[in-house]
Amino acid sequence: MVGMTAMQHFKIFHDGVTIPVSRGGRGRPLVLCPGLNSTQSDLHELAGSLRRDHDVVTFDLRGHGLASAADRYSFEAFLSDLTAVMGRLDLDTAPVLVGYSLGADLAVHYACEHPGAVARLVLIDGANPVPEPFITEALLPEFRAMWEEMATQQEAARGTARQVLLTAQEILDLNLEIDAVRSGILDRYRKIDRPISMIMSTSMAGDSGEGHAPRFNRNWRAGVERLVREQPHIATTWLDADHTLVFTHAPQIGEIIRNTSGPAERAGSWNTP
């Protein structure tokens, strides 16, 4: 299967949901896990870049893209989607597991719970043990309004490969849950014995010097610094970008992933204007 170049498309049925999977490319297997509010269609540029020297698997989480809706959306439910996909793949060797945003958190939890199942992890702007939660009681109304607006905008994508079926309240609840998950994620890292690379945004909340962005960005960087102090073997690359880096900087991210392999992964910076 390593030399496969033709694209394959199939579906996985589990837990009452249908998960669409795409696979193609050549080289070492690589599984690309999307995040909350992102789909495999959104990640097409990065996936295409990686297919040059990886056998790339992409999929949609429940309620996203071409996956079916579900009666529950939770961190554990999304983790079960990733676990179902990994369990269905017939691979000759353990894959590289790449996760974006929430997908990075799912990748860390999967690798922790399935020792030896992955060759290494690449975490893109997620799985960050931030010192403080992002969503505080005081900020709830702002976040609720933001996701209500986002849900309205997403209605235009209904019926397409980029649709997101979650309501604003479900997205808010998930972000609160992600904050809680990240408060304990250091324990997960401690149980993983595989190489880990992180590709992080310097301004995850945007580069505005006003409002909440500076505090969010400081919290984001502090979380990674906290992690690397405890796990100095983790290689970190910072991109001059916000949280949409996986879309805006796909070629650079693809090159970083291709250029880092095995335990000799390199730490460093890659700054793009």
Per-residue pLDDT reduced to its tens digit, 45-88? 999 999 999 999 999 999 999 999 999 999 999 999 999 999 99
- In tens, the pLDDT along 118-163 reads 999 999 999 999 999 989 888 889 889 988 998 899 999 999 999 9
Whether residue 2 has pLDDT greater than 60: no
Give the start-end residues of each E strand in 48-103.
54-59, 96-100
Please give the Cα distance from 37 to 171 (Å, whole number).
8
The pLDDT value recorded for residue 139 is 87
CA-CA-CA-CA torsion for 3, 23, 188, 228, nearest 10 degrees? 70
Amino acid at 81: D
- Domain ranges within the chain, ordered by starting residue: 8-269
Written out in words, the top-level CATH class of the domain with range 8-269 is alpha beta
The pLDDT value recorded for residue 78 is 98
| pLDDT tier for residue 270 given thresholds of 50, 70 and 90 | very low
Cα–Cα distance list, 68 to 8, 73, 154, 190, 212 (Å): 19, 12, 16, 34, 35
27 touches 55 (CB < 8 A):
yes
pTM check: above 0.85:
yes
Token output for 268: 């460093």
